Amino acid sequence: MNLISDPVTQPSVVVRGSPSGFIQEIVARHHLLKADEPSADGGGDIGPTPYELLLAALGACTSITVGMYALRKGWPLEGVVVRLTHSKIHAADCAECETGDGMLDRIDRELELTGPLTLEQQSRLLEIANRYPVHRTLTSEIDIRSRLANKLRSPCSKQMSEAFRMDSAAL
């Protein structure tokens, strides 16, 4: 099966890597991307890091949502630039966070809106930026379920299966 040309049976995203390095090949529908780690961290730096891809998803969804809202309202938004950074902070340094101990992830996002928007329109677009789908996903409870695609079988169970096939063939 060709994962690139068959969007009906294809999972949302497929990532392939090897144990010999950090380079990852990513297929999302018919788009090909690469992810890697910086050279300083042992990678080849041929693509964004996983955290940079996460920030890119947040930024793209923010920009798309804000742009769609302004278009629907007929507002004079001419452009959107979203700048994002990721950091780890002490939970004790975050007054509005529920977690009280240890470290937590912080994403800072800055929106630059261009065009002759009123202050009210700018404020509303900032509100909308906090309601976009990826933002809601990442700020809600997330249930990530992992499983192995192929069952790993011990040599003993493989031998038992072969023995069973031989016994069955003899019948």
Give the domain ranges of the chain.
1-47, 49-139
pLDDT tens-digit readout, 19-63: 888 999 999 999 999 999 999 999 999 999 999 999 999 999 999
Cβ contact 35:13 at 8 Å: no
Q: pTM to 2 decimals?
A: 0.75
pLDDT tens-digit readout, 125-159: 999 998 888 888 888 888 888 999 886 655 554 55
pLDDT band at 96 (very low <50, low <70, confident <90, very high): confident
Burial 101-122, CB ≥16 within 10 A → b, else e: eeebeebebebebeeebeeebe
pLDDT average, residue stretch 158-165: 47
Rounded Cα distance, 32 and 47, in Å: 11
Domain 49-139 sits in CATH 3.40.190.10: no
Structure tokens at 32: 């090909």
Mean pLDDT, all residues of the chain: 84
Q: Which of 57, 68, 71 is nearest to 137 (CA)?
A: 57
